[in-house]
Amino acid sequence: MTVLLVAGARPNFIKIAALLHAFAERGLERRICHTGQHYDDAMSAAFFRDLEIPDPDFELGVGSASHAVQTARIMERFDGVLDEQQFDLVVVVGDVNSTVACALVAVKRGIPVAHVEAGLRSFDREMPEEVNRVLTDAISDLLFTPSRGAGENLLREGRPDDSIHFVGNVMVDTLDRFTGYAVSRSTVFSDLGIENGPYALLTLHRPANVDDAGAFGGLLEAIETIAAEIPIVYPVHPRSRRMLDATELTDRATGIGNLVLTDPVGYTDFVALESRAAFVMTDSGGVQEETTVLGVPCLTLRRNTERPVTVTEGTNRVVGSAPDVVVAAARDCLASRRGPQPKRPELWDGRAGERIADVLLEWERK
């Protein structure tokens, strides 16, 4: 069986690293297609280096564009990949445009599709990622879920029970494999001048937070207040950078004392930053999961989450984006003398990739 793994964006690379490792151990023949949805060094090449991912067999180079244009480019170029070689299965991960675009092309060509991280729902169709999740799950043959709640979502949507496989979280596989290395080898603390004291970590990239100058400005208001009480490290996502550079918000951000602005960092540096943070403020789904496992308080700057297990069993709080609420939640974290203990939701044990590989081998046998 020849499996084609599709990845297009930063969170995808973290997941396929675990799959590649598990597939290699079990002798599964695999190829990699990088769509190029994330394409610069900090958002792509650095992750391939840090995570020891081999060079892609196919590179589509789609780059940035609107959702419609980017999805169309991926579909057109991925169709050409499937002309070049016969694959028995296409594996897509996560919820980005590459996920749904490549799944749709494969299914229309009669190639089975497996979706890793299936069944996650925010129940907010205004999020482009939610649309990608629902559509990908509707057409995939194999659905690998990270939590029992995700499987329940799929059953409610009418997906066959025998297509759903609860395997755990592949992100944890990669986190377990690299955390010790990241913390011991990273120079990011000295590079950013934060080696001697507590700090908070901030990430922002969701359109609802950074594509609207008013919403982004409100969050910067909260950040300015919090930064007066604890330094904040902010690796600036390219999407956020575009808004900052296009408005007066860039002067506002750079004028905040104790706010350490930096370019995006690679995987090992980011995990190191997460692991030592007093708390993390984010709108990223993956960061909600990583902080849960690392035992770091997480404040999700959104009105919902597709990963509720990080709230019910983890260290995450969904606080929204109202400045006063964000500030109050941050102060709660600062006032707590003991942070939460690391959490391990069911099957978040670093072996999800192995379970996926075993299911695929059994699927091939049948």
Let me know whether 87 and 225 are in one domain: no
The answer as to whether 340 is a domain residue is: no
| 205 is an active site residue | yes
The whole-number pLDDT of residue 238 equals 87
CB distance 13 to 35 below 8 Å: no
Q: How many CA atoms lie within 13 A of 231 on its CB side?
A: 16
Which backbone phi and psi does 157 adopt, to 5 degrees?
A: -85, 5
Let me know whether 161 and 222 are in one domain: no
Of 21, 38, 165, 205, the active-site residue reads 205
CB distance 325 to 224 below 8 Å: no
- Number of structural domains (the chain) is 2
pLDDT in tens, 214-249: 999 999 999 999 999 999 999 999 889 989 988 889
Let me know whether 89 and 198 are in one domain: no
Instruction: Give the whole-angstrom CA distance, residue 256 versus residue 117.
Output: 37
The whole-number pLDDT of residue 285 equals 95
The whole-number pLDDT of residue 64 equals 83
CB distance 142 to 112 below 8 Å: yes
Instruction: Give the whole-angstrom CA distance, residue 119 versus residue 167.
Output: 12
**Helices (H), ranges, 247-322:** 249-254, 267-276, 285-294, 309-312
Let me know whether 249 and 322 are in one domain: yes
Which CATH number does the domain housing residue 322 bear?
Answer: 3.40.50.2000
Angle between helices 170-185 and 285-294 (to 10 degrees): 70
Let me know whether 23 and 135 are in one domain: yes
Question: The sheet that has 200-202: what strands, in order across it?
Answer: 259-262, 232-235, 200-202, 279-282, 298-300, 316-318
State the DSSP code for 99: H
3-state secondary structure of 31: strand
Low-confidence residues of the chain, pLDDT below 70? 38-43, 337
The whole-number pLDDT of residue 343 equals 78
- Containing domain of residue 209, as a range? 178-335
pLDDT in tens, 99-145: 999 999 999 999 999 999 999 999 999 999 999 999 999 999 999 99
Angle between helices 352-365 and 170-185 (to 10 degrees): 140
The answer as to whether 343 is a domain residue is: no
Let me know whether 187 and 307 are in one domain: yes
The answer as to whether 189 is a domain residue is: yes
Let me know whether 328 and 299 are in one domain: yes
Let me know whether 155 and 23 are in one domain: yes
Q: By percentage, how much of the chain surpasses pLDDT 90?
A: 84
Instruction: Give the whole-angstrom CA distance, residue 14 versus residue 361.
Output: 22
Let me know whether 231 and 331 are in one domain: yes
Closest CA to 139 of 110, 113, 111, 160: 113
